[in-house]
Structure 1
């Protein structure tokens, strides 16, 4: 993947669709990279409170008994959505390397775990999207309320994949026949900048 020129530092950001990094000289020839990852979409747990209220309000237009049924139905729909959304996001996030800190010198790379890999053992540096090539499967079925919830869940699963795809770039180092993630959960711009800085320090072509 091609890399773009990198700035020496990026300020920390809090926007869920943005990432950043800061590179600082820690002495002894080491440069520390602190990466703030892009969080992406989150689960709206507040729906568990809104669902019963909305369902109960709609049911109350018909009668008291219907208000109770509407509240139960509203809670059920909200619960299905929240649980389904948690599962959907978890499916994609487990493929993404976390953001964090690592250090690089001309002689070695210090992984987030603290382990050091000698520069001479590095085969290559890689910048890639962790979700590239991931097969997205959606299934919907049934009728009535169950079918509607399934259809909404399938659509939400696809939307989550599209939302997380541009936020799932990561930089990896290949050494000793293995791939080690230096940092992930980044936008393409941040990942390219980190890639270029690390490549320059290691003296890789």
Structure 2
């Protein structure tokens, strides 16, 4: 069976599961489950949009990589984030690897597109790590802001934040996701980088 066909089937299955999570959130009147399920469902359409509207070539593995990350996050909102100690570590590592892949792909495409930009390999390793950690810090700030807003409004938080110790551990696993991409993920991204560079060329005035 063709890898793109497998990706399509897996994507539809993941979307179905997320829809069921959304329904469960509506049934239990759990706002955090509902909102996170909607965001996760929207994210599952990104690979198709990038291919159709931007003509970006994505390896089928990359599409499943993204959709699996958002699926695990949506499932986590049903309870595993509270009841399974390692669930948060897995989702942070996987989500951070997606962020790292996006940062690496964009940087390499800009480098290929512009003669004025040169990014040495050693710098790229540091860049991927810092880019991912910056996104991780932003996410932790959003979680903290969501908690404060929920407390002020007297409602449940859409995102959950457990304190400084949890934030430090989250950033540690964000770093692991970034390092995994820097060490092992770059070859998988080469065709995507080439197609993103071609997209930049088409946009050149």
Normalised to the residue count of structure 2, the TM-score between the two structures is 0.30
Greater C-alpha Rg: 1
Question: Which structure carries more strand by proportion?
Answer: 1
